């Protein structure tokens, strides 16, 4: 039985996240249904590199698929896409060794968050429009303190199924890029806790708005505070941009997923 490595892009607006759930429409559920249609099989495994929450998007989610089929990788990619809704797309399908595991072999992940600095008629499902001016240098200065190995417990939803799980995360990069009327936030790390990225962005935006000083934001590391939960950024602006495996090029250039042109005034 071959193992296929799938790279998947999706707009998460209409879905309750990646992972299959009862009585909810999910991205994995849609791909699972499409594989059944294409192969006629029920005995297969589809495993993603990690969960994304309801409303969160992906530019490069990775999954592995074990299914008995005589179809070539490109043919299975095309046929699965034919069965998928327009907001989910398999970008590539390649045969990989059975020792490859989409989740366990991942060495890092990078998330992209898009903040719009103006109202946009077209990109609303893919941005967080922040109306107030943002002090980007203050946000950058604060962000530097979060890079490294820290306890991000205040930025995460507690995992009640595994209360002994560590909340320490190695954050390898956190950068800001201005692209037209977007502020792009790239967050790269070994792994991420549930809601951590959105809460981190929310805290940094509060700093940029002048609602919180840098010292108070940094003091949340290792703390037990409800404040980051109250500042959680909307799911609409978040993308799982890239999953890295051994040998992949790291710290690749940052680009907008849905560019927003600077205002045309005439």
User: What does the block give as tokens for 91?
Assistant: 């970008």
Q: Active site residue: 32, 53, 159, 181, which one? A: 53
Widest Cα–Cα separation across the chain: 61
CB distance 71 to 90 below 8 Å: no
Spatial distance between the Cα atoms of 184 and 160, rounded to a whole number of angstroms: 32
In sequence order, the 6+-apart residues with CB closer than 8 A to the CB of 66 are 1, 2, 3, 4, 44, 45, 98
Q: Determine which helix (DSSP H) or strand (DSSP E) holds 151, and give its type and residue range.
A: strand 148-151
CB distance 197 to 111 below 8 Å: yes
CB count, 10 Å around CB of 155? Answer: 31
Spatial distance between the Cα atoms of 176 and 183, rounded to a whole number of angstroms: 7
Spatial distance between the Cα atoms of 181 and 167, rounded to a whole number of angstroms: 34
53 an active-site residue? yes
Q: Catalytic site residues?
A: 53
């Amino acid at each position: 039985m071959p193992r296929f490595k799938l790279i998947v892009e999706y707009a998460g607006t209409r879905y309750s996240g990646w992972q299959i759930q009862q009585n909810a429409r999910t991205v994995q559920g849609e791909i699972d249904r499409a594989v059944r249609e294409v192969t006629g099989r029920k005995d297969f495994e589809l495993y993603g590199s990690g969960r994304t929450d309801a409303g969160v998007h992906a530019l490069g989610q990775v999954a592995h698929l074990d299914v008995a089929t005589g179809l070539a990788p490109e043919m299975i990619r095309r046929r699965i896409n034919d069965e998928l809704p327009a907001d989910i797309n398999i970008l590539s399908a390649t045969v990989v060794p059975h020792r490859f595991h989409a989740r366990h072999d991942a060495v890092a992940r990078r998330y992209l968050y898009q903040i719009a600095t103006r109202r946009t008629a077209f990109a609303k499902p893919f941005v967080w429009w922040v109306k107030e001016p943002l002090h980007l240098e203050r946000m950058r200065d604060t962000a530097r303190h979060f890079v490294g190995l820290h306890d991000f417990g205040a930025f995460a939803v507690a995992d009640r199924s595994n209360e002994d799980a560590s909340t320490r995360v190695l954050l390898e990069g956190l950068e800001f890029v201005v692209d037209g009327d977007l502020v792009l936030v790239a967050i790269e790390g070994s792994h991420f806790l549930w809601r951590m990225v959105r809460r981190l962005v929310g805290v940094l935006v509060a700093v940029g708005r002048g609602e919180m000083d840098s010292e108070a934001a940094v003091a949340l590391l290792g703390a037990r505070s409800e404040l980051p939960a109250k500042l959680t950024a909307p799911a609409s602006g978040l993308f799982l941009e890239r999953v890295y495996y051994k040998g992949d090029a790291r710290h690749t250039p940052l680009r907008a997923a849905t560019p927003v042109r600077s205002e045309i005034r005439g």
